Amino acid sequence: MLELNLPPFDINVKKTDGKLSVLDPLRRKYVALTPEEWVRQHFVNFLLTEKGYPAALLANEVQISLNKQSRRCDTVVYDRTLTPLMIVEYKAPEVAITQSVFDQIVRYNIVLRVKYLIVSNGLSHYGCVMDYENNTFYYLPDIPDYKEL
């Protein structure tokens, strides 16, 4: 897999019937190792080890209902009262972070109404903080530590 703009770590990969899978510690199971999953596992590890996010307050593949259709948020970060605080959307490294990627995460936020939105393809990472009072948002200079949320 491609080297990312995230800290390397000992990722738990196995091969079964010729297919690679990776252990997702948040879901506590092996999942198919796709390029997007490669980004997710590295980004989650970054949040846990570098940014101080508690593993118990992160969840992968969180199902929501949007316009009577089932959708999945890649990662949701919760505050200590278990209120959704951040949505993280991942793309494969070869997928550019475009307006359509932001549009996707904004649609998910219609349901969850979180304070922070993050998008990453493993090479580029963008974050913003929502300002609901003024109906706008502000880009973040860096991915915040959990204690800054």
Question: Which DSSP string corresponds to 80-142?
Answer: TTS-EEEEEEE--TTS---HHHHHHHHHHHHHH--SEEEEE-SS-EEEEEEETTTTEEEE-SS
What local confidence, expressed as pLDDT, does residue 132 receive? 95
DSSP 146: G
Residue 140 lies in a domain: yes
Q: What average pLDDT values come out for the chain (149 residues) when binned by 10 residues?
A: 91 93 96 97 98 98 90 96 97 94 91 96 96 94 96
Quote the pTM value: 0.95
Residue 117 lies in a domain: yes
Number of domains composing the chain: 1
Residue 5 lies in a domain: no
Domain region containing 45: 13-148
Residue 4 lies in a domain: no
Gyration radius of the chain over CA positions: 15
Residue 39 lies in a domain: yes
Contacts of 52 (CB under 8 A, 6+ apart): 145, 146, 147
Residue 6 lies in a domain: no
Residue 8 lies in a domain: no
CATH at 46:
3.90.1570.30
What local confidence, expressed as pLDDT, does residue 68 receive? 87
